[in-house]
Amino acid sequence: MSRRHVSAALTALALAVTPLVMSAPAASAAPATAAASCASYPSWVAGKSYATGDIVRYTDGKTYIAEHDNPGYDPVISTWYWDPYNCDGGGGGGSTTCASYPSWVAGRSYVTGDIVRYTDGKTYIAEHDNPGYDPVISTWFWEPYNCDGGTTNPVGNFVVSEAQFNQMFPNRNSFYTYNGLVAALNAFPGFANTGSDTVKKQEAAAFLANVNHETGGLVYVVEQNTANYPTYCDWSQSYGCPAGQAAYYGRGPIQLSWNFNYKAAGDALGIDLLHNPNLVQTDAAVAWKTGLWYWNTQSGPGSMTPHNAMVNQAGFGQTIRSINGSLECDGRNPAQVQSRVDAYQRFTSILGVTPGGNLSC
């Protein structure tokens, strides 16, 4: 998704995130001895290496545990590497408490600690004050809240297994992890999770087929033509290019490019990608989230989002149009289109589902 994707109109679209409701407890009733143990954990230090199991106190006073070794990633951004850690003995109560939390309301302001029930019935806790951002999109501001002691992962039944993922991408760069993809799915729970089992698998195959084409089989993390790097700064935007003229080149599974796309994606995800574009090439979950952001919310040169194209059975060809239609569709570059179609047919075969019609654009 490089130079061809979205205009400044995206920014407005991405900013139209819905707010939510909540009321909520914090761990207020913790015993004094437990509270003391929370304070005993070391403060998180950016850039310091951590091993699985390390526990730290973040700048907001909350504790986090390393789920995977990492070179000092931010616990509230790199959510595949870190999980909130309940050091004070608090936590979810019985399932009846889940129903007691208020429904999320779009446009309402929330403060850190507020808990709400989202439209999907799941509960979320505000990790940071926010003016009503959507819990399943603005994942820096909200975290799934385990109010009943069960799992909060909405993508436990992702239609692509790790074995199938590895079969699709036998030569992939180690940066593009399956776990990074699964962690990113929390930001867009409707992806590959809407409609019949056939539609779910077709959408997953369509997304991964386009990703395959954009990255050479998940080999490339960044755009290979460095001469293009300085061209992706649109100085007409009021916020400019604070990370530098050449900082907004293609990165990640859909090759996010241009300062306005980094701004729009970051605003939607609750991550400051305008100032920190390198997160897309250093954090696998963030990289996958940017790809899923485009897939689920942007139409590019097309007339619908790729997600809607698959869910509404418009066909794989419409996903190509939304991603790079101005350069590939309507006979402009049939070889590139065929490359995407071939990958889609290969991936649907791996998933054991028919590809459907309207494969080309």
Query: Catalytic site residues?
Result: 214
Backbone φ and ψ for 213, nearest 5 degrees, come out as -70, -40
Strand order in the sheet with 115-117: 115-117, 123-126, 142-144
- For residue 123, give the H/E element and its range: strand 123-126
For the CA atoms of 298, 304, 306, 310, what is the dihedral angle to 10 degrees?
150
Which residues, at least 6 apart from 213, have a Cβ–Cβ distance to it below 8 Å? 336, 339, 340, 343
Backbone φ and ψ for 125, nearest 5 degrees, come out as -115, 140
Around 203, how many Cα atoms within 13 Å sit in the side-chain half-sphere? 27
The Cα 17–Cα 134 span in angstroms is 6
CB of 237 closer than 8 Å to CB of 263: yes
The Cα 224–Cα 201 span in angstroms is 31
Which residues, at least 6 apart from 164, have a Cβ–Cβ distance to it below 8 Å? 350, 351
- For residue 64, give the H/E element and its range: strand 63-66
Instruction: Give which of 256, 265, 77, 250 is closest to 180, Cα–Cα.
Output: 77
Give the three-state DSSP class for 222. Answer: strand
Q: Which residue has the tokens 């179609």?
A: 341
Give strand ranges (E) for 19-62: 55-57
The Cα 62–Cα 64 span in angstroms is 7
